[in-house]
Amino acid sequence: MPRFEPFVALRYSPDEPLDDVTAPPYDVLSPADVNALRARHDHNIVAVDVPLEREGPGRYELAARRVTSWIDNGVLVRDAAPSLTLYRMNFTDESARERSTVGVIGALEVVDQDASGVLPHERTTPKAKTDRLDLTRATRCNLSPVWGLSLTPGLSDLLHEPGEPVGQCTDENGVVHRVERIVDPIRLGAISAAVASNAVLIADGHHRYAISRTYRDEVRESTGSTDTDAELTMTYVAELVAEQLSIDPIHRVYRGIDAAELETQLGRYCDVTEAGHMTATFAAETISRGSMCLVRPDGSGAWLKPRATAYSGVRVLDGAYLEHALDGVDGIDVTYQHGVQNVLDIVRSGQADAAVLIRPTSIDEIRRTAIERLLMPPKSTFFTPKLRTGLVVRALDV
């Protein structure tokens, strides 16, 4: 099972306004988002985490110089001792429920691909860019955590007691993010042992974890050592239980097949009924009806209720249902989009031919994925709220 250890964290100075200097993860930011965040504050973490192409081929080295400057000038401050960080989020979910979750940030062992201990939970789409690897090489930092799910029962109970408060911010969606430091050796040992006692399933950040493996191998080759900071990577770990997770679907957007043909193909496997004019409220209706929903360019929809007999042997996942139903249909291009309104806007504007709204993946299927060492289709889960980048940074002193 994987090691999970405290580390000496870098954190923003108490003089820095966390609302203005932290940011969403790099992979959900548009260029306009990055520009707005950089304009908000000179020390916003995106100045390091999202090097801009207009800054030229030396942009990663520029990001590294910024980190060094921020440390030298007291913008970022090293903790006095290794710690684990409790990370709490308070928010209202899509069904209007008030929620509170807690996980822990530490350094998780980087294991070889297909090794036991740290497991992927879905097939990933290819990513040719080396952006994260170039940034890690230059800054020698883990800037944002991988998101892991622990199979250890009772982990949440170990995280319930507060630690030393070290920061709080509220994001653009009203989510309150709070971090607390743990340095007590007994508690550190108990939490580390609990995480390390079972496999960790990667929920978000598969690409970051893969980059950590490549970087680890490079460091091993250059140093001849298997005992450096590169052997682990910064990871947020939460218990795999419903109360600690908020899971949204990632809907399917289609090009190369019109809505009528898509409806015909899916009608071979689903009972189809008219849904009328579609709105953002359909996110909740897909759950209550137990159906997917076809999105047409004219703004109307059709409910697609999977027939169990048509999907014998197929996993209970809408993404798997769609893959099965469209297998062998040529010329289809599928992309992935979070948020019902975003999907409606894309199809109505003619940027896509049709789309299908799907339901969130169940906790039972996520747990089955881990226990049976299975993989879900790409983009099967969208974990929310997103962790804030900048609340904790891990330097790689190799």
pLDDT per position as a tens digit, 275-317: 999 998 888 889 889 999 999 999 999 999 999 899 998 988 9
The CA distances from residue 146 to 159, 204, 223, 318, in Å, are: 18, 6, 25, 25
Could you tell me the CATH number of the domain that includes residue 256? 3.30.1760.10
Q: What is the pLDDT along the chain (398 residues), one digit of tens a residue?
A: 899 999 999 999 999 999 999 999 998 898 999 999 999 999 999 999 999 888 888 999 999 999 999 999 999 999 999 999 999 999 988 667 899 999 999 999 999 987 889 987 666 655 546 899 999 999 999 999 999 999 999 999 999 999 999 999 999 999 999 999 999 999 999 999 999 999 999 988 888 999 999 999 999 999 999 999 999 999 999 999 988 988 888 999 999 999 999 999 999 999 999 999 999 888 888 988 999 999 999 999 999 999 989 999 898 899 999 999 999 999 999 999 988 999 999 999 999 999 999 998 888 888 887 788 777 777 777 888 999 999 999 999 86
Residues 200 and 314 in one domain: no
Predicted structure pTM score: 0.86
Q: What's the structural domain count of the chain? A: 2
Same domain, 109 and 180: yes
Cβ proximity of 147 and 247 under 8 Å: no
Burial class (CB in 10 A: 0-12, 13-18, 19+), 85: buried
Count other Cβ atoms within 10 Å, centred on residue 86: 24
124, 236: one domain: yes
Q: 297 is in which domain, residue-wise?
A: 250-359
User: d(Cα 249, Cα 322) in Å, to the nearest integer?
Assistant: 14
Residue 265 to residue 325: CA distance in whole angstroms = 7
Residue 195 lies in a domain: yes
Shared domain for 326 and 388, answered yes or no, is no
In a domain? residue 241: yes
Distances (CA, A) of 369 to 64, 115, 120, 375: 38, 15, 9, 6
For residue 39, tell me if it sits in a domain: yes
> What are the pLDDT digits (tens) for 194-211?
999 999 999 888 889 999
For residues 95 and 113, state if they share a domain.
Answer: yes
